[in-house]
């Protein structure tokens, strides 16, 4: 069975357009086990109940940003081992460094192509 058939992914983005583009790209890659959340708090709650292999999260969200979500996930035994990719429009050195310290596996800067996203994901989980 191919990795893409087993991989469970959670997409976290408050913007429906961005979320839709990511979900569409994952579908085109053949990744079918995909859940999504519209903010960090609901993602954290959902992930505690049903952990995934990979979280793809926007950085800039109201309430709990992507780095705060990453920090919360790394503190929980149920979610601490999930891969984490941060999506950001501003890949400031400070954001990336903080992400790395918190255990971020990779990041991708907006705007990106579906192939960019695939390369980013494969760098974390292996070849789809």
Domain residue spans in the chain?
3-125
Taking the whole predicted model, whether its pTM rises above 0.75 is answered as: yes
Return d(Cα 115, Cα 56) in angstroms, integer.
Answer: 15
Write the CATH number of the domain with boundaries 3-125. 3.40.50.2300
> Where in the chain does DSSP place strands (E)?
8-12, 33-37, 54-58, 83-88, 106-109
More confident residue, 2 or 105: 105
Distance of CA 37 to the CA centre of its chain: 11
Cis amide bond preceding 36, omega within 30: no
Instruction: Give the residue-averaged pLDDT of 57-65.
Output: 96
Residues 72-94 pLDDT 10s: 999 999 999 999 999 999 878 99
Instruction: Name the token pair of 118.
Output: 């695939």
């Amino acid at each position: 069975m191919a990795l893409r058939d087993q991989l469970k992914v959670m997409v976290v983005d408050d913007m429906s357009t961005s979320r839709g583009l990511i979900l569409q790209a994952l579908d085109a890659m053949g990744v079918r086990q995909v859940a999504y959340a519209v903010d960090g708090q609901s993602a954290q709650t959902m992930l505690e109940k049903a952990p995934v292999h990979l979280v793809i999260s926007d950085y800039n969200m109201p309430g709990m940003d992507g780095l705060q979500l990453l920090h919360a996930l790394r503190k929980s035994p149920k979610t601490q081992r999930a891969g984490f990719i941060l999506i950001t429009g501003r890949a400031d050195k400070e954001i990336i460094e903080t992400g790395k310290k918190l255990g971020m596996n990779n990041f991708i800067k907006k705007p990106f192509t579906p192939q960019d996203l695939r390369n980013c994901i494969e760098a974390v989980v292996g070849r789809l």
